[in-house]
Chains A and B, each alone.
Chain A
């Protein structure tokens, strides 16, 4: 059983190599993953992210429900279109998923969650919604295209109506707006400027083709992974999962502790973890010599062992980088060791962010 997005035929037309991604047949690359990566850092690239799950949460309790459901506080959202990144925890403070919430009004929100966690996310939300007056509606009738890179916005602008251009002109990061057929958001997963566009399925292939025609390069999941890792963005299932606290996944900034009486799910356990100060933490690792850091390699430090959660070769920096979970007492600037192919190799500890807007940031 393999799902196909509405853009499947377009990928094959562009010579994509397709792979199974959690039950979806998705492009891993269209020839060279590294060239696609550079296209996003230097010009404009696009990704089919139609496999991601769009969920609309509406009703008179929508705000109260979301304030209970997730760690970040949707009460902070007061301007229509503003978005919020957050974790959704279980009672043990393990991360069920990470997601983006767009605010339209207090009765009207849009969530975008991971496709790999779709079923458990929906089941969890529906279960938690029992005592709230809300409707939870999946919106599978849309495609979603992320256009990213320093030239992304100007390329997209060429395809927009005058009304749409006016609506997105000067839109700050992490906003979304519905204009005409398109929902256009200044979000992404690459560390570059750009848009994520939600488009009705019937128009998706045509929109994709027009983007190709103005010179936006199609990019696969391979480049998406190296780009997000350079940007220090977590990937659910690798960098965190239900056994991991947000405190151990560089997600402390997504927890809103005030007001103290907001009882979001997982708060109690999370508060205990925070008070104990014993959660490990997610750091960056840099290897400047030959070799590539990979997921699950052991990290050896004087403070105790850790583990690489995501590792790759960074095409921008031309050496390997990784995210790793290590004891909290390990410091940025420390030299630690990674067990790679039976050898111990020295690596530098950095903040978990390597590249932003095309530039090295550590």
Chain B
């Protein structure tokens, strides 16, 4: 089945969150999500400096099959986006947990991370789908 790294946190809407320390997290979509969407053709990313709340649709992953909203899993400020995806959206398919990352958020409230799912919880949420 799908690879779900245990060191990451997850949202039920299929984003993963990596805690980089200093209140900064990296966000992308899971291997399971990219597999559902198929070949990625465009990724529309948020603006750096934008303030987002958990649950906001902040990006769009457009595959051959469908356009899918990407939600901010936590609240804070967008401090960096993965500009590589502009020319190479397929990185989301080939390396969803690595080079296919989408944006970084400076957290407003670090404790928000605790409300996200761990790998086991995410796996259970996929199985319910």
Number of A-B contacts (CB under 8 A): 34
Tell me the chain A residues, 23-49 only, with Cβ under 8 Å from chain B: 28-29, 32-34
Q: Is B44 an interface residue (CB 8 A)?
A: yes
CB-based contact B67/A32 at 8 Å: no
Closest-CB distance, A227 to chain B (whole angstroms): 12
Q: Which residues of A sit under 8 angstroms from B64, Cβ to Cβ?
A: 33-34, 222, 226, 292, 312-313, 315
A313 to B43, CA, bound (A): 13
CB-based contact A222/B62 at 8 Å: no
CB-based contact B67/A294 at 8 Å: yes
Q: Is A290 an interface residue (CB 8 A)?
A: yes
A137 to B95, CA, bound (A): 51
A341 to B39, CA, bound (A): 20
B35 to chain A: closest residue by CB: A17
Other-chain contact of A222, B38, B60, B90 (Cβ < 8 Å)? B38
CB-based contact A292/B42 at 8 Å: yes
Closest-CB distance, B70 to chain A (whole angstroms): 13
Tell me the chain A residues, 309-339 only, with Cβ under 8 Å from chain B: 312-313, 315
Interface centre among B39, B42, B62 (most CB of A within 10 A): B39
Q: Which residues of B sit under 8 angstroms from A28, Cβ to Cβ?
A: 38
Q: Is B93 an interface residue (CB 8 A)?
A: yes
A29 to B66, CA, bound (A): 15
Interface size on A, residues (CB 8 A): 16
CB-based contact A292/B39 at 8 Å: no
Interface centre among B60, B64, B66, B93 (most CB of A within 10 A): B64
Q: Is B24 an interface residue (CB 8 A)?
A: no
Q: Chain B: interface residue count, which band?
A: 10 to 19
Q: Is B41 an interface residue (CB 8 A)?
A: yes
A292 to B40, CA, bound (A): 11
A289 to chain B: closest residue by CB: B42
Q: Which residues of A sit under 8 angstroms from B66, Cβ to Cβ?
A: 294
Tell me the chain B residues, 42-61 only, with Cβ under 8 Å from chain A: 42, 44, 60
CB-based contact A33/B39 at 8 Å: yes
Closest-CB distance, A196 to chain B (whole angstroms): 24
A152 to B38, CA, bound (A): 26
Other-chain contact of B93, A32, A291, A294 (Cβ < 8 Å)? A32
CB-based contact A29/B38 at 8 Å: yes
A340 to chain B: closest residue by CB: B67
CB-based contact A34/B39 at 8 Å: yes
B94 to chain A: closest residue by CB: A32
Query: Which residues of chain A have a CB within 8 Å of any CB of chain B?
Result: 17, 28-29, 32-34, 222, 226, 290-292, 294, 312-313, 315, 341
Query: Which residues of chain B have a CB within 8 Å of any CB of chain A?
Result: 35, 38-39, 41-42, 44, 60, 62, 64-67, 90, 93
26 contacts between A and B (CB under 8 A): A17-B35, A29-B38, A32-B39, A33-B39, A34-B39, A34-B64, A34-B90, A222-B64, A222-B65, A290-B42, A290-B44, A291-B42, A291-B62, A292-B41, A292-B42, A292-B62, A292-B64, A292-B67, A294-B66, A294-B67, A312-B64, A313-B41, A313-B42, A313-B64, A315-B64, A341-B60
**Beyond known contacts A17-B35, A222-B65, A226-B64: 17 more, CB 8 A cutoff:** A28-B38, A32-B39, A33-B38, A33-B39, A33-B64, A34-B39, A34-B90, A290-B42, A291-B42, A292-B62, A292-B67, A294-B66, A294-B67, A313-B41, A313-B42, A313-B62, A341-B67
